[in-house]
Structure 1
Amino acid sequence: MKLLLVLLFATVYAKHEEYSGWKSFYIKPSSHDQLKDLGNLISKLELDFYIHPSLDREGVVLVKPQYQDDFVKFVNEENMKYWIHADDVKIQLDNDDLMMESFQQEARSSKSSSFNYDKYHTLDVIYEYLDSVAQKHSDTVKLVTPATSYEGRTLKYLKISKDNFQSGKPVIFIDGATHAREWITIPTVTYAIHKLVENVTEPDLLDKFDWILYPVVNPDGYEHTHVKERMWRKTRSTDQHVAGKICRGVDINRNFDFEWNTVGTESHPCSDIFPGRKPFSEVETRVVHSIFNEHHQNMILYLSVHSFGSMFLYPWSNNGSLSDRGLQLHMVGIRMADVIHELSLKHFPRYRVGNTALVIDYFSSGSSSDYAHSIGVPLSYTVELPGRGSKGFVLHPRYIKPVVTETWAGFAAGARMAGQLFGSR
C-alpha cells in the first residue's frame, strides 16, 4: 500500500506542468458596469473564465503569470471584490486528481456496476455504455455514428423513440461536453438515457416525446483533458489557421452560423474562444448541425449542458435582445429552475434564468443555442450546472449523483411544459 501511494503521488505531480504559476481568482462584480469592464478585459489579459460571474454572484477566472499584476491592479482600481481561488493552478489540479482517486478507491469496494455516478468516466467507458444501452434496448434505442472526429474518434449519440421517430412526436435534444473540460455535463446526459430506458419511472416522457441524447460532442477534447491538459476547452483540429499546428482547436460554441465571429470571439487560434475560419468548420459542429437540420421542424426543446454557474440562459447571446418566444423561454426556464431548487443541496446556489447577455453581461456569437433558436426551435437553452462543493476545478464526485438527479427532474419538467406549449407543432 505504501509503495502504491508513492507511485500515485509521483504520477500526479508529473502532470499539469503547463499550469504551473497560473493563479485563479474568485471575482464578484457588483454592477453591470463592472461586469462589462471585466468582459472587455478578456482579450487583453487572455482571461479564462471557468465560471462566468453574474451580478452579485462570484465567478472564477484563471490568470496566466505574466498578466497577474495587471489583473490585480485592474480589480483594485475598479473596487471589485476578489480573492484567491487557487494560488497555483497546477498544485490545485494535482490536489483534484488526488481527491478523485482517493474518493474512487473508497467507492470501488461498494460498487459492482461498471458505469455508475460516483466518478468521471473515460471516453472508452462512456462509449461502451452507449453501445450496451443500444444493444440491450434495441426496440427503443438507436445508436448513431454519423462521422469521425478530427483525430479519428467515432462521434456517437442515441436516438430514443418508441417508433423510431415515425409518428412525428415532439423532439427533445440534449447534449454535453461541447467544452471538453466540463466533465460534469456528460453524466447529466447519460443519466437522462438511464431514466428513459433503464430505470423508467416516468413512462409518459417516452410516450409523448422522441429524444436525442448526445453525451460527448467533443470527444477529442475530452480525451485530451484526461491525458494531457485538464483545462482544455476546444476541439483538437489543426487546419483552421496557419498557426494551427501550434495552437490547435476551435471553440465549438462559437462555430455555429448565427452572427458568426461578430462578438465574443478572438481571431488568434491560441484563444479559447477562437471561432474557426468559417461557420461549421468543425466536424463536431457539423454533426450537431445535421441533427438540427433533420429534426428542427419537430424539435421543441434543446438543452446544451455546460458548467459551471447554475443558470438557464436563452437567446439572444450576441446583443441581449429577446426573441418573440421570450416569455415562453423565461417561463419554462423558471419551471426547470424551480424543480431543481426543490431537490438541490442547500449550499448550491439557486439557478438564475434569463437572457445570456443580460445575466452575465457578456456578448457572444456562434453558439449552438442561438443557432437552434434562429432556425425555429422554440425553446433553446445553455444550461450551466452548479459548481459549488469543491475548492478546485472539478465538482467533487460525491456530488455527481445529486446533480444528475436534480438536473433530470428539471429537464423532465421542462419537457412536459414544452409539450404543453409547443406539442402541436
Structure 2
Amino acid sequence: MKTFAVLLLFAVANAKHEQYQGWKSYFVKPANKVQLQVLSSVVQKYGIDFLSDPAVERNGLALVKPELHEYFIKSLEDHGIAYKIHAEDVKAQLDIDDKLIETRRRESSQKQNGTISFDNYLELEEIYDYIDYVAEQYPNLVTIVSPGNTFEGRPLKYLKISTTNFEDEHKPIILIDAGFFGRDWITPSTALYALRNLTQSDMLHDYDWIIVPVANPDGYKYSFTNDRFWIKTRSTDQHLLSNYCPGVNVNRNFDFFWNTIDSSDTPCANNYAGSKPFSEKETFLLKESLGDFIPRVVLDISLNSYGSLILYPWGHDGSLSNHAFALQSVGVSIADTIYVNSLPDFPRYTVGNSVLVTKIESSGTGIDYAHKLGIPLTFNIRLPGIGEGTEGFHLDPKYIEQVAKETWDGIVVGARRAAELFGRTRK
C-alpha cells in the first residue's frame, strides 16, 4: 500500500504542467522600433504569450505552442529579429523550477507566528493569514476591507493603512495593487513588503495608503495548483464557451475603451475582455470600494511581472495625457531610486508611455481607467525578472526580498513627489 502511495504521488507530480509538453520559450530582442512594431504584429497574428514584453534592445520572453514554432521563427528571421532559445522543453523547465521552490521552502528558517518569508513565493492562504495578523497587531493603523467574494467564493481583501482612519481629508492617498494576473507570483510579496514597512516607518504621517495584495485570488490560486502561466479570473458565466475556457483578463475589463484594442471576444484568449466592462467581481468590487477615495488618490501603482518597465497612460493609442510631464518625471525618479538600490543582475528600468515603449496598444486597463477618473499619476511597474540565462520561468526566490526592497524605495520617492505635485490641489 505504501509503495502504491509513493507511485501515485510520483505520477501526480509528473503530470503537472502536462499542458506545456512540447512548448518552447524564446528570448527575442528587437534592435529598433521598426522591429518592435513587427514583433507586435506577430504577437497579434499568432497569439504569442510573452511573459516579459520586449522593448528596443531589451529581451522579451515568448512562450510558443508546438504548432507555432515554425511560423514564429520564420517571422523573426524574415525581419532580422534576434532570438535564441530559452527552454527547449517548457514542461521540463517548470518541473525544475518547482524543485527549486520546494527546496527553498524546506531550507527556509522556521517562521515565527504572524511572519512571512520574503525568500519564497507565497501561497494565497499565507498571504491572507499574514494580512489578518498585521491587522490584529496594528488595529489603530491597519483595517482590512472585504467588499465581497470572487466567482469561486474566495474573499476579496484590501487594506487601508492610516494614522487617522482616513478621516483627515487633507492627506493624499497612495494606492498599490498586485496580483492582477494569476501568474505574477512576485507582486503580492512586493505589496506585503510595503505593508510591513508602513507599520514601521514615518510614511503614515503625511499619507494614507490602500494596498490590494491579490486583486485576482482565483487566478492566483489556480496558477499554483493547475496552470503556472494562468492569467485570467476563473468565472464561467461570461460566454457560452466559458465553461470550456473560464476567466476574463482583469486588465482588459475596466471601462476605458473597453474591448476595442488588444482585447478579444473569445473566452479562450488570454486577453478576453469579458461580456461587458466590470463583468468580473474583482474589477467591479474594486471600483465600488475604492471609488469614494478617488479624489484624494495622487499615485496609483499597479505591480506586474516581468520586464523592468515603468509604464503610464494612455495605453489605448499612445497619446500623452495632460499629466505626461509629471508622469515621466515621477516615473524617472522612481526608476533612478530603484537603480541606486538595485543589484547588477537586474536591468535598469525603462520609463515611458506604455505604447511608445512596448509598441502594444491595449484597452480596458486599470491604470488608464484610474487616470480617466482623475488620478494624476498612474503607473504599471513591471518588476525585474528573468535574465538571459536558463534559470527558468520564475525569478530565483533568493531575489524576492531584494526586488521588494528596491521597489519599496522607489514607491517612497514616488509618493513624496506625487504629494508635492498634487497633494494640495486634490483636497
Give me the TM-score of the superposition, normalised by structure 1: 0.95
Letter in 1 for 2:410: G
In the TM superposition, residue 44 of structure 1 has moved relative to its aligned partner by 2.6
Residue 25 (structure 1) aligned with residue 26 (structure 2): yes
1:268-347 equivalences under 5 Å are 268-347=266-345
Residue in structure 2 matched with residue 71 of structure 1 by the alignment: 72
> In 1, distance between residues paired with 2:343 and 2:58?
18
Residue in structure 1 matched with residue 380 of structure 2 by the alignment: 382
Letter in 2 for 1:351: Y
Report the number of matched residues: 418
Contact 1:330 1:354 in 2 (8 A): yes
> In 1, distance between residues paired with 2:333 and 2:14?
44
Contact 1:29 1:80 in 2 (8 A): yes
Letter in 1 for 2:60: G
Contact 2:386 2:392 in 1 (8 A): no
Contact 2:147 2:289 in 1 (8 A): no
1:12-411 equivalences under 5 Å are 12-108=13-109, 112=112, 114-168=115-169, 169-197=171-199, 200=200, 202-203=201-202, 205-388=203-386, 391-411=391-411
In the TM superposition, residue 11 of structure 1 has moved relative to its aligned partner by 4.9
The runs of 5 or more residues in structure 1 that have no matched partner are: none
Contact 1:292 1:372 in 2 (8 A): no
SS at match of 2:28: strand
Contact 2:24 2:65 in 1 (8 A): yes
User: Residues 83, 257 of structure 1: CA spacing in aligned structure 2 closer, same or farther, 3 A cutoff?
Assistant: same
Contact 2:150 2:217 in 1 (8 A): yes
Contact 1:12 1:97 in 2 (8 A): no
- Range with greater deviation from structure 2 (258-267 or 143-152): 258-267
- CA RMSD in angstroms comes to 1.7
SS at match of 1:208: coil
Residue by residue, what CA displacement relative to the aligned partner does 1:365-398 show, whole Å, maximum 9, x if unpaired?
0000000001100000011000135721111110
User: Residues 91, 282 of structure 1: CA spacing in aligned structure 2 closer, same or farther, 3 A cutoff?
Assistant: same
SS at match of 1:34: helix
> In 2, distance between residues paired with 1:392 and 1:286?
35
Contact 2:386 2:393 in 1 (8 A): no
Contact 1:170 1:208 in 2 (8 A): yes
> In 1, distance between residues paired with 2:286 and 2:97?
32
In the TM superposition, residue 103 of structure 1 has moved relative to its aligned partner by 2.1
SS at match of 1:230: coil
In the TM superposition, residue 10 of structure 1 has moved relative to its aligned partner by 5.4
Letter in 2 for 1:403: V
In the TM superposition, residue 5 of structure 1 has moved relative to its aligned partner by 11
Letter in 2 for 1:283: K
Residue in structure 2 matched with residue 412 of structure 1 by the alignment: 412
> In 2, distance between residues paired with 1:222 and 1:282?
15
In the TM superposition, residue 39 of structure 1 has moved relative to its aligned partner by 1.5
Residue by residue, what CA displacement relative to the aligned partner does 1:164-197 show, whole Å, maximum 9, x if unpaired?
1101110111000000000000111001110011
User: Residues 33, 292 of structure 1: CA spacing in aligned structure 2 closer, same or farther, 3 A cutoff?
Assistant: farther
Contact 1:314 1:329 in 2 (8 A): yes
SS at match of 2:287: helix
SS at match of 1:108: coil
SS at match of 1:53: coil
Letter in 2 for 1:234: K
In the TM superposition, residue 38 of structure 1 has moved relative to its aligned partner by 1.6
> In 2, distance between residues paired with 1:7 and 1:307?
34
In the TM superposition, residue 119 of structure 1 has moved relative to its aligned partner by 1.1
Q: What is the percent sequence identity of the aligned residues?
A: 45
Letter in 2 for 1:402: Q
SS at match of 1:147: strand
Residue by residue, what CA displacement relative to the aligned partner does 1:238-282 show, whole Å, maximum 9, x if unpaired?
111110000111000011011111111122111100111111110
> In 2, distance between residues paired with 1:386 and 1:370?
22
Letter in 1 for 2:325: L
Contact 1:247 1:270 in 2 (8 A): yes
Contact 2:163 2:204 in 1 (8 A): yes
Contact 1:254 1:367 in 2 (8 A): yes
SS at match of 1:269: coil
Contact 1:144 1:157 in 2 (8 A): yes
Contact 1:310 1:385 in 2 (8 A): yes
The runs of 5 or more residues in structure 2 that have no matched partner are: none
In the TM superposition, residue 116 of structure 1 has moved relative to its aligned partner by 1.4
> In 2, distance between residues paired with 1:388 and 1:17?
22
> In 2, distance between residues paired with 1:5 and 1:385?
39
> In 1, distance between residues paired with 2:325 and 2:289?
26
In the TM superposition, residue 46 of structure 1 has moved relative to its aligned partner by 2.1
Contact 1:12 1:98 in 2 (8 A): no
SS at match of 2:108: helix
Give me the TM-score of the superposition, normalised by structure 2: 0.95
Contact 1:264 1:365 in 2 (8 A): yes
